[in-house]
Amino acid sequence: MRSRLLHKSIVFLIIIFSMVFDIACAETISFKLIKIIPLPTVDKGGDAVSYDPYDHAVYVSMGKTDAGAVVIDAKNNRIIKIIHDGLLRPYGMSFDKHYVYWTANYLIGKNTLIKDPIQRKVSRIFVVDKKDWKVVNIFNTIGCGADGIWVDQKLDRLYIAMDDNNWIDEYTLGQHPVFMGKIHLYPETGSGPDLGVLLASSHVLYMPDDSWEEIINLLTKKIEEKINIAPRAPSSSPDIVAEVFATDFNGGLKGL
């Protein structure tokens, strides 16, 4: 009996110690501004930003005018390269060990060199070689409205959210990416896939689309789960009146 009580007491003390230790660690975490890095633009056009652990570099999209993109050395927080080479109004970026892939969108037609009475958006991907930070390839995407972009190196795939088509373009990696297909999002009539998060270890892409949050299995190219965070919005719920979801402790979704 005493041994049981002693065992329970030890377990209880370990649990209490762990809780106190976690709280103490949480209280010691703090953040402070160490430097402001001025960007080479006059219109406050800094947009998407990403950190590359391979080269200890920070990439910044200059989303306005013709400021291009910026590469920052994360070791000393200094700008080491401003990328132009036709890269106007860049949006998202992603990278592998050899290249950085930047999305950009252009309006072609009215008030441009091409005499077309109707403006149409053309989306392009700029492939930048990390050896010298030069653009080595530019190609048009199949979809339109390229925004968020992700790399899965184990699958050798590049994924691009197409804001105007409500799907994801899929390409191979490398200097000359090859189109491999589309991953359709929900709802089909929606518009708004944006900057999601790719969990490469599980080959899962967490994608916001209109009022929906979708979990996409990149192995099957299917939506595994989805949740409507604004169920009362009619434009985001074409086939239902309302849907409310709760998250269980295992990370799954349960309809209520």
Instruction: Read off the pLDDT of each residue in 239-254 and give the average, rounded to a whole number.
Output: 42
In a domain, 193, yes or no: yes
Q: What is the pLDDT of residue 189?
A: 72
128 shares a domain with 4? no
Range of 145's domain? 41-222
CATH of the domain at 157: 2.130.10.10
Region 169-189 average pLDDT: 93
In this structure, the answer to whether residues 48 and 22 fall within a common structural domain is no
Distance CA 107, CA 88 (A): 11
Helix (H) or strand (E) holding 254: strand 253-255
**How far, in Å, are 59, 186, 209, 236 from residue 213 at the CA level?**
26, 9, 6, 11
Q: Are residues 22 and 98 in the same domain?
A: no
Among 102-116, 139-153, 154-168, which stretch is predicted with the lowest mean pLDDT?
A: 102-116
The tens digit of pLDDT for each residue in 63-115 reads: 776 788 999 999 999 999 999 888 888 889 999 999 999 999 877 655 544 44
pLDDT greater than 50 at residue 248: no
Count CB atoms within 10 A of the CB of residue 115: 7
Q: What is the number of structural domains in the chain?
A: 2
- Asked whether residue 15 falls in the same domain as residue 80, the answer is no
Question: Do 113 and 13 lie in a common domain?
Answer: no
Q: Is residue 145 part of a domain?
A: yes
Cα distance between residue 184 and residue 233, in whole Å? 21
Domain-located, residue 63: yes
pLDDT in tens, 13-69: 454 455 545 555 556 788 888 888 888 877 666 778 999 999 999 999 987 767 889
Asked if residue 120 and residue 4 are part of one domain, the reply reads no
Q: Which residue has the higher pLDDT, 44 or 254?
A: 44
Same domain, 136 and 114: yes
187 belongs to a structural domain: yes
Q: Are 94 and 151 contacting, i.e. CB atoms less than 8 angstroms apart? A: yes
Domain assignment of residue 254, yes or no? no
For residue 157, pLDDT over 70 is answered with: yes
pLDDT digits (tens, 9 = 90+) for 183-220: 999 887 766 788 889 999 999 999 988 888 999 999 99
Is 7's pLDDT higher than 90? no
196, 148: one domain: yes
Instruction: Identify whether residues 152 and 51 lie together within a single domain.
Output: yes
How is residue 121 written in tokens? Answer: 């958006």
**0.85 surpassed by pTM:** no
- On whether both 19 and 115 belong to a single domain, the answer is no
Same domain, 17 and 92: no
- 82 and 190 belong to one structural domain: yes
* Residue 153: CB atoms within 10 Å: 12
- pLDDT computed for residue 121 by the predictor: 75
